[in-house]
């Protein structure tokens, strides 16, 4: 009765741990990547006003015209694109699904650095594609030469995620340029997942879209403006990939239909909202976590997003996660994001008090 493709995926390990939060008394919840601040008031008001004014029907499949124009102007200015193609998606996760459905045929290969964003592996497998994992341990830098060596005549795309979930690593301009050169030489599409692009703590986050025209850019509003439940993202590309965005729009027509209309109106307002204070607060959280754990654990200092990917004592993440949960700290085992199970992920998107509590407990378990 049940389709065979469902056997290719398991229930999200993140959601399993998140569900445990309801069973524990006031846990330190380092499990889920969801900002601990609320949607800014000005953005809330824009959504409320849109709802009250009756902006509750379908939008065009590709998105609200004003929002698309605003996104288009932003990417024109940032990347020098002349006539960008834009699609408003139901979150970046929705954009990933549309991209994979529009691009991947059975047998196609997709190259991604390991560790990777959890959704990618499972969607690619469900569509009959083949994940080609390129190891980036122990420092999680962009493994450009290994990616180049992994390209075959079956390679459909390379996925880049910077700032990274789960590692928090931000790829350098030099690394991105080097990958752009490889992709151009091999004529391979690059999909750049930049949902955390505003969360950069040690300088600007570079984008491969600046250096390679066959880049499918995915960004969103969920993390920067704490509207994770509003499901707002977008896809942008220059003229060379217009046909890809058009096919994704066609797939959206028969799946999501459109992104939520009143929240598209709110996203217009969000694009004018300055989140630098929020980013500064998360930089401090990053420092609080890193300085608290660095002498007890092996970890790379995160450069962006709000995650740290930490080597587990004894190189057994599942065992360490079980111990942490027994001590009221929720963390995620590395095998959710990797072909290894040597590390665990922390999301420090929580209060400073909880970060300090969690650090103290984890130090005691090291």
Considering the entire predicted model, what is its pTM?
0.94
**Is 147 in contact with 182 (CB distance < 8 Å)?**
yes
Average pLDDT over residues 50-78: 97
State the average pLDDT over residues 355-365: 97
In the predicted model, what is the mean pLDDT of the chain?
94
> Quick one: pLDDT band at residue 90, thresholds 50, 70, 90?
very high
Please report the pLDDT score of residue 33 as a whole number. Answer: 86
Domains and CATH numbers, the chain: 4-32+275-365 (3.90.1150.10), 41-270 (3.40.640.10)
pLDDT grade for 231, boundaries at 50, 70 and 90: very high
User: Residue 15: pLDDT above 70?
Assistant: no
Predicted pLDDT of residue 32: 85
Cis peptide before 267 (omega within 30 of 0): no
In this prediction, residues 236-248 reach a mean pLDDT of: 97
More confident residue, 10 or 253: 253
Among residues 293, 194, 221, the alpha carbon closest in space to that of 63 is found at 221
User: What's the pLDDT at 23?
Assistant: 72
Separation CA 26–CA 32 (nearest Å): 15
309, two tokens: 């990917």
Q: Where is average pLDDT lowest: 21-35, 187-201, 249-263, 298-312? A: 21-35
Q: Percent of the chain, pLDDT > 90?
A: 89
Return the top range by mean pLDDT from 35-39, 179-183, 322-326.
Answer: 179-183
**Residue 62: per-residue pLDDT:** 97
How many angstroms separate the CA atoms of 90 and 92, rounded? Answer: 7
């Amino acid at each position: 009765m049940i389709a065979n493709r469902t056997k290719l995926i398991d229930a999200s390990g993140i959601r399993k741990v998140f569900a445990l939060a309801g069973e524990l008394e006031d846990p330190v919840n380092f499990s889920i990547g969801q900002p601990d601040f609320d949607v800014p008031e000005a953005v809330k008001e824009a959504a409320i006003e849109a709802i009250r004014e009756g902006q509750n029907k379908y939008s065009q499949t590709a998105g609200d015209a004003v929002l698309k124009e605003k996104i288009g102007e932003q990417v024109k200015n940032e990347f020098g694109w002349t006539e960008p193609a834009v699609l408003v998606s139901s979150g970046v996760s929705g954009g990933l699904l549309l991209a994979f459905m529009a691009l991947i045929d059975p047998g196609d290969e997709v190259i991604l650095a390991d560790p990777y964003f959890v959704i990618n592996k499972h969607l690619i497998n469900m569509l009959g594609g083949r994940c080609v994992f390129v190891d980036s341990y122990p420092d999680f830098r962009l493994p450009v030469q290994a990616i180049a060596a992994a390209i075959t005549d079956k390679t459909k795309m390379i996925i880049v995620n910077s700032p990274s979930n789960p590692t928090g690593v931000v790829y350098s301009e030099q690394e991105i340029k080097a990958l752009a050169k490889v992709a151009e030489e091999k004529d391979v599409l690059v999909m750049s997942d930049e949902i955390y692009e505003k969360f950069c703590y040690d300088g600007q986050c570079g984008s491969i879209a600046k250096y390679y025209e066959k880049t499918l850019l995915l960004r969103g509003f969920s993390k920067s403006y704490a509207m994770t439940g509003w499901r707002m993202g977008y896809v942008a590309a220059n003229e060379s990939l217009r046909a890809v965005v058009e096919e994704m729009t066609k797939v959206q027509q028969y799946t999501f239909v459109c992104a939520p209309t009143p929240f598209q109106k709110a996203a217009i307002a969000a694009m004018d909202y300055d989140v630098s204070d929020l980013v500064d607060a998360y930089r401090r959280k990053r420092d609080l976590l890193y300085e608290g754990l660095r002498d007890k654990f092996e970890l790379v200092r995160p450069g962006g997003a709000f995650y740290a990917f930490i080597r587990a004592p004894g190189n057994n993440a599942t065992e360490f996660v079980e111990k942490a949960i027994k001590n009221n700290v929720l963390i995620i085992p590395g095998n959710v994001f990797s072909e290894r199970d040597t590390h665990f992920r922390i999301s420090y998107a929580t209060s400073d008090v909880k970060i300090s509590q969690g650090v103290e407990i984890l130090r005691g378990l090291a």
